[in-house]
Amino acid sequence: TQKRSRAHTYMDVPDTALVKKLVKDALLKPRYRNEDPAAATEAVLQDHGLASRLSNMLYASRRASEEPQTVAMARALRGAGRTAATGAGPAAPTTISTRAGDVAELDIMRALQARWQSHVEAAVRRLCAESGGPLMRTTAAAVAPAPKSSRQRGLYEPSEMLQLVADAEHDNAMSSHTGLRGWGLVPFELATPSLGELADGFGELRPSVRQSGVDDELRGWSGEERQRMAASVLADGHVPLLLQFLRCGTPAGTRSALWRAALGVEIDQAALSYYGRLVAEIERVALVTDGLLERDAMAPWDEEEYFLFRERVATLLAAFVRDPWVRRHSAVPSVHVTGASPQTGRSYVFPPNGALPPRGLSAYAFPLAYCYSRPEEAYFMFRALWSRYWCRLHVLSARRETLLPLCRLFEMLVQEHHPALCLHLCRLGLHPTAVAWRWIQFAFAGTLPVEQVLMVWDRVIGFDSLELLPLLAVAIFLFRSHTLLAATSAEEAERMLANCSELRVVPLLQAFLYSPPSLIASTPVPK
């Protein structure tokens, strides 16, 4: 039996019996005899480094209790796969029911999930037929890799998911009186917060609050002060305090340690051994998706910026799809299929991590290479970020802070604050959501410069929220509105939006949250 990975999160519970014995024995010592029992207990926990762990455990327990339906949904989906028929040739993937335990989802959403499942299954079957092998085999040499001439880098493109959503037909997609359909590509009335509610929730982004990476350039002492604060919160180790600190960014050189502490990722010898076993599995077991992941890592969106990290990222992705920890700990269940061994008939989840890889999966990994020099550190941080955040961006669900509500929030806000821009771009044939979808789905990785991406992720972790992503997308559209309104073709407008090299994410977020008119150009719409 394999040992459990110790690259755990702060949700791991300290041994309560051990804690009780430790406190009891310590309270009998002379130094604590005359103290109040409550104060003495707190002092013992502090002295032995257990206070923060217990506090973090309670925080994680409260956080987990806020999403019981998500947990129930995940458990139901993980056990709902049907075994594929065995026989000669590639093992065929089978459908996973999304109904059991998912009572909170709309009927149209469940139907959409079923269609997306069928779409991805068909992609897996095509890949198996192309490679001439099953989903996975234990002898790597026996598996023929996907043809090198194939340009496929993932099982599906983000645009395929968007097209499926945009084509969804249901009773509320259009007016029953006029027959007119709304302008948005997300044809669902999903609950979204107002800009005022978001401004209150992201209060630490107010211009009056100093931000790392912004105020450092204007006030040298601000950077030094933030460095001292970073050292203090790291020494304390209390997760809510770490998250609070990250909301204003990270000082230079502290991001890697702050992220690890905030997400509770501890890497000890057992974790290193676990990672070593995952890497060994790459040679022992070949997956039909291995070629896709290798091409994805070798052809990143910004080749010049990421060239040095390609091989490391390729290994990271190959280990990731083989890690069953991901399937057990992801915030929402990802799309996967179920296969059966032709030798034993036993069923298995494919891929082992329960998440079929989209094109562009490497985009989440390359920014981490700038923060973590050791491959195992980058891996466990990638795994933690996917399980907590990025998995939400690859499911079709009505739950808040998953992809569809985030894109719907983008549509509501951009239409509210600049309807003329939306009309102009739609007339040109470039729908704003078609551009923002990829930005949001990949958390701006591959779109913004690396340092700006990391500053966005600082605040995603700090606020524990993905709603910053559509806010930033709207801010970019409004900031570019003057030139976009002058565009005469979809290609010209798309080039303008693709030029993000000079954008500064924190000032954009601050301006949109607290002074939207400052971003909006007054140029009239061309006729």
Of 258, 88, 108, give the one whose Cα is nearest residue 168: 108
- The number of CA neighbours under 13 Å toward the Cβ of 373 is 1
3-state secondary structure of 331: coil
The span from the CA of 403 to the CA of 205, in Å, is: 23
Quickly count: other Cβ atoms within 10 Å of residue 315's Cβ: 19
Q: Which domains, from first to last, does the chain contain?
A: 16-66 (no CATH), 69-167+267-332+342-388 (no CATH), 186-220+398-527 (1.10.472.80)
- Give me the phi and psi of 27, to 5 degrees please: -70, -20
* CA dist 241 → 213, 278, 347, 386, 474 (Å): 20, 33, 44, 22, 29
The span from the CA of 56 to the CA of 232, in Å, is: 17
The span from the CA of 331 to the CA of 120, in Å, is: 21
DSSP per-residue string spanning 355-387: -PPPTTGGGGTHHHHTT-SSHHHHHHHHHHHHH
* pLDDT in single tens digits along all 527 residues of the chain: 344 444 444 444 455 666 666 666 666 666 665 666 666 666 666 665 555 666 665 556 665 555 544 434 433 333 333 333 333 333 333 333 333 333 357 788 899 999 999 999 999 999 988 888 888 887 544 444 444 434 556 788 889 999 999 998 876 655 545 555 678 999 988 889 999 999 999 999 999 999 987 877 666 667 788 999 999 999 988 999 999 999 999 988 899 999 999 999 999 999 999 999 999 999 999 999 999 999 999 875 555 667 778 899 999 999 999 999 999 999 999 999 987 776 777 888 999 999 999 999 999 999 999 899 999 999 999 999 999 999 999 999 999 999 999 999 999 999 999 999 999 999 999 999 999 999 999 999 999 999 999 999 999 999 999 999 999 999 999 999 999 999 999 999 999 999 999 999 999 999 999 999 888 744 444 44
The span from the CA of 511 to the CA of 493, in Å, is: 22
Three-state SS for 233-258 is HHHHCCHHHHHHHHCCCCCCCCHHHH
Name the token pair of 268.
Answer: 């000890």
The span from the CA of 312 to the CA of 307, in Å, is: 10
Quickly count: other Cβ atoms within 10 Å of residue 80's Cβ: 17
Name the token pair of 461.
Answer: 């972790």
Of 418, 437, 409, give the one whose Cα is nearest residue 478: 418
* Residue pair 393/443 in contact by the 8 Å Cβ criterion: yes
User: What amino acid occupies position 266?
Assistant: E
The span from the CA of 244 to the CA of 207, in Å, is: 16
Name the token pair of 154.
Answer: 């993932």
3-state secondary structure of 348: strand
Name the token pair of 221.
Answer: 């002492």
* Residue pair 50/59 in contact by the 8 Å Cβ criterion: no
Q: What letter does residue 339 receive in the DSSP assignment?
A: E
Locate tokens 């460095």: which residue? 227
Helix axes 255-262, 450-463, angle to 10 degrees: 30
- Give me the phi and psi of 204, to 5 degrees please: -70, -5
* CA dist 153 → 57, 158, 193, 222, 444 (Å): 39, 12, 35, 44, 19
Q: Calculate Rg over the CA atoms of the chain.
A: 25
The span from the CA of 138 to the CA of 80, in Å, is: 25
